[in-house]
């Protein structure tokens, strides 16, 4: 069964450093998303991406964050200058469409630890 | 405010002891309610989509139902491998994309 893959599974970085989290969505999917989950808290939406541009972003997704689809398969999340509060699990997700019968499929996440 | 509330926060069952998990939602116009399973250190795994009140979906020992205010995930004769966190989410009615509003989940532990 096709799946969303994310790398690395765990990233440790120092405060102020840049990190890039990588994702390979399911191949025929058109909509891509990043969500995050701070330990013990809800999964929360960061950004959605379609047709090579951001469709929607949350208030969390400030100027320190950016997303890119550099080629036909990868989808990346960059955090320009990490803060301690960026420590979380980051999940990439994709869907075939926007209809209700096209649910999100999530990857296994990247655990980001900012020290 | 649109929100999703799940109860109980945690549930311990003996193997074979059936129970139900609850997901209450307040959104202005439901555009889909989703159940996911999440194992420790993993991403949410899709289980069901429910579209309208009265709808039911089944998969193995799991059955999801939907009313106008809440959804239930019924677990019949659970096994230890059903132990996981079960997440409920609704699609943000104000969003043009798949912005989900998640609940905090129910942590299920099934004892052998």
Nearest chain A residue to B47 by CA distance is: A103
Domain ranges, ordered by start, for chain A: 5-101
Nearest chain B residue to A111 by CA distance is: B41
Is the separation of the CB atoms in B31 and A100 below 8 Å?
yes
Q: Are β-strands A110-114 and A10-13 bridged in parallel, bridged antiparallel, or unpaired?
A: parallel
Rounded CA-CA distance B51/B62 in Å is 17
Task: Dump pLDDT digits (tens) for A30-89.
Answer: 999 999 999 989 999 999 999 899 999 999 999 999 999 988 789 999 999 999 999 999
Mark yes or no for CB contact B43/A41 under 8 Å: no
Domain A5-101 has CATH 2.60.40.10: yes
Rounded CA-CA distance A70/A55 in Å is 17
Domain B3-111 has CATH 3.30.750.24: no
Nearest chain A residue to B101 by CA distance is: A44
Question: Is A32 within 8 Å of chain B by CB?
Answer: no
Give the CB-side neighbour count of residue A66, counting CA atoms within 13 A: 11
Give the CB-side neighbour count of residue B23, counting CA atoms within 13 A: 27
Compute the radius of gyration of chain A from its Cα atoms.
Answer: 13
Give B18 to chain A, closest Cα distance, Å: 26
Is the separation of the CB atoms in A107 and A6 below 8 Å?
yes
Find the CB nearest B97 among A4, A98, A107.
Answer: A98
Rounded to 10 degrees, the C-alpha dihedral A92/A97/A98/A99 comes to: -130
Question: Is A4 within 8 Å of chain B by CB?
Answer: yes
Domain ranges, ordered by start, for chain B: 3-111
Task: Dump pLDDT digits (tens) for B19-72.
Answer: 999 999 998 888 889 999 999 989 999 999 998 999 999 999 999 999 999 999
Does residue A2 surpass a pLDDT of 90? no
Mark yes or no for CB contact A56/B97 under 8 Å: yes
Rounded CA-CA distance A108/A89 in Å is 9
Query: Whole-number mean pLDDT of chain A?
Result: 93
Task: Dump pLDDT digits (tens) for B59-105.
Answer: 999 999 999 999 999 999 999 999 999 999 998 888 877 789 999 99
Is the torsion defined by CA of B41, B47, B52, B55 positive or negative?
A: negative
List chain B residues with CB under 8 Å of A47. Answer: none
| DSSP letters for A15-77 | TT--EEEEEE--TT--EEEEEEE-TTS-EEEEEEEETTEEEEE-TT--TTEEEE--SSS-EEE
Mark yes or no for CB contact B42/A108 under 8 Å: yes
- pLDDT for the residue B56: 97
Nearest chain B residue to A32 by CA distance is: B98
């Amino acid at each position: 069964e096709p799946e969303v893959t994310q790398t690395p599974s765990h990233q440790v970085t120092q405060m102020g450093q840049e990190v890039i989290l990588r994702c390979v969505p399911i191949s025929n999917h058109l909509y891509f998303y990043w969500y995050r989950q701070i330990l013990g808290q809800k999964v929360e939406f960061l950004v959605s991406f379609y047709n090579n541009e951001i469709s929607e972003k949350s208030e969390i997704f400030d100027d320190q964050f950016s997303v890119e689809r550099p080629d036909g398969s990868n989808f990346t999340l960059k955090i320009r200058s990490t803060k301690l509060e960026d420590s979380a699990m980051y999940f990439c997700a994709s869907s075939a469409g926007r209809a209700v019968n096209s649910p999100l499929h999530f990857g296994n996440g990247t655990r980001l630890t900012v020290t | 405010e649109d929100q999703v509330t799940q109860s109980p926060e945690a549930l311990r069952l003996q193997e074979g002891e059936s129970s139900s998990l609850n997901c209450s939602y307040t959104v202005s116009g439901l555009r889909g309610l989703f159940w996911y399973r999440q194992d420790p250190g993993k991403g949410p795994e899709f289980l069901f989509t429910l579209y309208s009140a009265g709808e039911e979906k089944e998969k193995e020992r799991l059955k999801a139902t939907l009313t106008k205010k809440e959804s239930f995930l019924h677990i019949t004769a659970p096994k230890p491998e059903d132990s996981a966190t079960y997440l409920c989410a609704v699609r943000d009615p104000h969003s043009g994309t798949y912005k989900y509003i998640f609940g905090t989940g129910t942590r299920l532990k099934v004892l052998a």
